Amino acid sequence: MNAPLVWDTQRRSRAARLERARACSSGKQVDAAAIGALLRAVIEPGDRVCLEGNNQKQADFLARALTALDPTAVNGLHMVQSVLALPEHLDVFENGMASKLDFSFSGPQGARLARLVSTGRIDIGAIHTYLELFARYFVDLTPNVALICAQAADREGNLYTGANTEDTPAIVEATAFKSGIVVAQVNEVLDRLPRVDVPASWVDFVVQSPRPHFIEPLFTRDPAQISEIQVLMAMMAIKGIYAEYGVQRLNHGIGFDTAAIELLLPTYAESLGLKGRICSHWALNPHPALIPAIEAGWVKSVHSFGSEMGMEDYIRARPDVFFTGPDGSMRSNRAFCQAAGHYACDLFIGSTLQIDLAANSSTATLGRIAGFGGAPNMGADARGRRHASETWLKAGRQAREGLAGARGTPRGQKLVVQMVETFREHMEPAFVETLDAWQLAEQAKMPLPPIMIYGDDVTHILTEEGIANLLLCRSDDEREQAVRGVAGYTAVGLARDRRAVENLRDRGVIQRAEDLGVDPRLATRNLLAARSMRDLVDASGGLYAPPGRFRNW
């Protein structure tokens, strides 16, 4: 005799959890002192728990409360989260509460993560990009419980996430619509929210944390630290790539090199007559270094993954540029910005730690499991794309000229630029025969070496020695010599076939600064539209308020 089919096990589970929670909270509002009891009531052993672990903001109060639970009562948890940022994010594994992990980026916790993996305390399901992880929340990694953070709640439980909305909408949608439990820590409870970012019907519990949630300024770069070499490389990027392809829609990976590009727009790029012809639309966090370009009228729009501390008032004052609500504050959205960077941008440019002869690029280092973050989504050709732009078509033509068959089918291609000095600090070469990623994969038992940007997605490599245009390469040999040709005095560079490299230069596959008409002696810091944090504040008319660590006045 067959057992009756039951179709609402998840709803029943949800009801049971909510029933248990009634013992510590009569409604949605939970006292801070009761948070432990609440989590104990709504989390079950074996649950998939999403702890907001974003790039910038952290649900730190909930993280601490989770780690304080009794592991004999709550265990076997499967953590799914974007970023491992706080010590508590790994404490849950160390104390035996959680055993499995799916994530995207580990930043400051990379070394500790590697140790816990090697001692068997953590079983990593997979390392993802941000957008990939969000996608899996809707397929096979749906959270049972989501522990999130928001700026404010009202008494019904509506949430305002404001400028730092980040990953929250993706997490909450997946959880709330699969009978999951959503618990939010908020900085304040208001009678009336500036706007509703998450509706109350998607939120089960709200707790006001004793201190505002943790948040870090990760996208601020002090112009005082930009070097002459970075100015030179930025000049080559602007003249040799942005102008050449007419790049209007783009994403910059964070770094001093890209900050140099942002700060050369109102000066060097202006002198080339490029205003209005490049850099109009951005998928980008609100980089303070972009302020002078915005003020000079270069920027039509910026959509952001998250916010940046100190930029709030400036963003409010520039609603034509940023995505802001009727209340005036920005709304960021990592999932949508990632999609924008993947499909609606024609160029990605970013730095890296290592590049090999196939132009594979990796930031993996031994002893650390850092993950990927969002870069692979930006730094990859978008094969699902169909709408055309001049930039995309030009790159596609260059890549396919002379090819036949399937490989020669006409299509566009996204410009993916890796920008790196040939030597890093302590004379570590950026160009290597074999990436550390291979050894790390063996050590950490990964199925594949963790490559950030695949070589066949990289279209240009830009170093202080010039630009290698891989779109024009027609064989692995040519590609290898093109890489060696811009690898300068590293062992990889010194081992070049001189004749082959000269040939590539004649064909324009490799372009030196002089070939681009860039005079290295003009590459001084005086070319930067802002040379200090103070200059950025002045450029913003006093609207930008840098966090304390960046001030020197």
Partner 1 sequence: MSMAAGLETLQYSFTGSQAAGMFAPVLVGVVGSGNLEVLLEPSPGTACRFEVQTSARGFGSIWEAVLRDFHSRHPLAGVAVAIHDMGATPAVVSLRLAQAAAALP
Partner 2 sequence: MSSTLPDRVSYAECSARERIARLFDAGSFREWLPPAMRVMSPHLAQLGVPAAFDDGVAIGEARLAERRVFVGAQEGEFMGGGVGEVHGAKLVGLFKRALRDRPDAVLLLAESGGVRLHEANAGLIAVSEVMRALLDTRAAGIPVIVLIGGANGCFGGMGIVARCADHLVISDIGRLAMSGPEVIEASHGVEEFDSRDRALVWRTTGGKHRFLVGDCDQLVEDDVQVFRAAAVRALDALRPLTLQSLQDEHAVLTQRLHAGEGAEDAVDLWQSLGIAHAGAVPDMNAEQVRTLRQESLA
Residues that bind partner 1 (CB under 8 A): 228-229, 232, 421-423, 425-428, 464, 488-489, 494, 520-521, 523
Separation CA 55–CA 160 (nearest Å): 18
Three-point CA angle 352, 358, 362, nearest 5°: 25
Compute how many residues bind partner 2; rule: CB under 8 A: 26
Separation CA 87–CA 112 (nearest Å): 9
Q: Which is nearer to partner 1, 254 or 430 (CB)?
A: 430
Separation CA 245–CA 132 (nearest Å): 29
Q: Tell me how far, at minimum, the Cβ of 295 lies from partner 2, in Å.
A: 4
426 touches partner 2 by CB under 8 A: no
534 touches partner 2 by CB under 8 A: yes
Question: Which of partner 1, partner 2, none is residue 346 near (CB under 5 to 8 Å by kind)?
Answer: none
Q: Tell me how far, at minimum, the Cβ of 552 lies from partner 1, in Å.
A: 18
Site for partner 2 in 252-271 (CB under 8 A): 266-267
Separation CA 166–CA 133 (nearest Å): 14
Q: Tell me how far, at minimum, the Cβ of 536 lies from partner 2, in Å.
A: 10
Separation CA 228–CA 524 (nearest Å): 5
Q: Tell me how far, at minimum, the Cβ of 190 lies from partner 2, in Å.
A: 27
Of 479, 488, 476, 482, the C-alpha closest to 506 is: 482
Q: Do 357 and 429 touch, CB atoms closer than 8 A? A: no
Separation CA 4–CA 27 (nearest Å): 34
Question: Which of partner 2, partner 1, none is residue 296 near (CB under 5 to 8 Å by kind)?
Answer: partner 2
Site for partner 2 in 218-237 (CB under 8 A): 224
Q: Do 265 and 299 touch, CB atoms closer than 8 A? A: no
Q: Which is nearer to partner 1, 91 or 228 (CB)?
A: 228
Q: Which stretch of DSSP H or E encloses residue 41? A: helix 35-42
CA atoms within 13 A on the CB side of 147: 29
541 touches partner 2 by CB under 8 A: yes
- The residues facing 129 across adjacent strands are 373
Secondary structure (DSSP) of 347-399? EEEE--SEE-TT--EE---TT---B-BTHHHHSS--TT-----HHHHHHHHHH
Q: Tell me how far, at minimum, the Cβ of 365 lies from partner 2, in Å.
A: 25
Q: Which is nearer to partner 1, 403 or 491 (CB)?
A: 491
Q: Tell me how far, at minimum, the Cβ of 297 lies from partner 2, in Å.
A: 7
18 touches partner 2 by CB under 8 A: no
Q: Tell me how far, at minimum, the Cβ of 429 lies from partner 1, in Å.
A: 10
Query: Contact letters (x/-) for partner 2, 288-317, by CB under 8 A?
Result: ---xxx-xxx--------------------
- Residues of this chain that bind partner 2 (CB under 8 A): 224, 266-267, 291-293, 295-297, 525-527, 529-532, 534-535, 539, 541, 548-553
